[in-house]
Every structure is written in structure tokens, then in C-alpha cells.
Amino acid sequence: MVNIVVFLVWCFTIGAVLGSTYSTLVYRLHTHQSVISRSKCDNCNHVIAFYELVPIVSYTLLRGRCRYCNTTIENTTLKYEIVCACITLGIGLICLRVL
């Protein structure tokens, strides 16, 4: 039972990370920015620390605002993270039924 829960949490986490990455790539390609540069606030250009980039958790803890200039952060990335996390969780559940 514990193994199943760990597997499902892992699926959700991987999905959130993939959703965050996908959202960032789409945004940067659309705005002609480098895809390998560090993430930064669109308003104050402050580089975002690695611990502020944890999918879903960081947005929630920061209440959707930049830590440095308090500007509202768009929730588009959060939506991608949640949708991709739910999709991979669903795939994980399907895999458990097949096995």
C-alpha cells in the first residue's frame, strides 16, 4: 500500500515538474527569450532562487506574488503544473490497474 502511495505522489510530482518546464519553454519561445537562462521576475528582473521554483508549492507560499517587488505573478504556469500533474497521476492510476 505504501509503495502505491509513493508511486502516485511521484507521478504527481513528475507531472508538475514537466508542466512547469513546458510552460516555461512555451513562454520563452513565444517571447524570443533564451530557454537556458535563469528564471527572473518579469517586472523587477530579479533572478528567482531555486527554492522559489518548486512547482505548485512556491506559487502557493508566495501567494502568487514576486518576493522582491510584490507584483502579481500570472497563474498560467500554475495551471500547466496542475493539469500536467493530474494527467500523469491519471496515467499512474491506469498503469496500476494494468499491472
Tell me the backbone φ, ψ of residue 56, rounded to 5 degrees. 65, -50
C-alpha cell at 57: 508549492
Residue partners of 73: CB distance under 8 A and separation at least 6? 41, 59, 62, 64, 65, 66
User: What is the per-residue pLDDT across 14-64, written as a single tens digit (0 to 9) for each?
Assistant: 999 999 999 999 999 999 999 898 988 989 999 999 888 999 999 999 999
pLDDT band of 2, cuts 50, 70, 90: confident
Do the Cβ atoms of 89 and 7 come closer than 8 Å? Answer: no
C-alpha cell at 40: 527572473
Q: Inter-axis angle of helices 76-98 and 2-30, to 10 degrees?
A: 140
Q: What is the pLDDT of residue 74?
A: 87
Is it the case that residue 99 has pLDDT exceeding 90?
Answer: no
- pTM metric for this prediction: 0.85
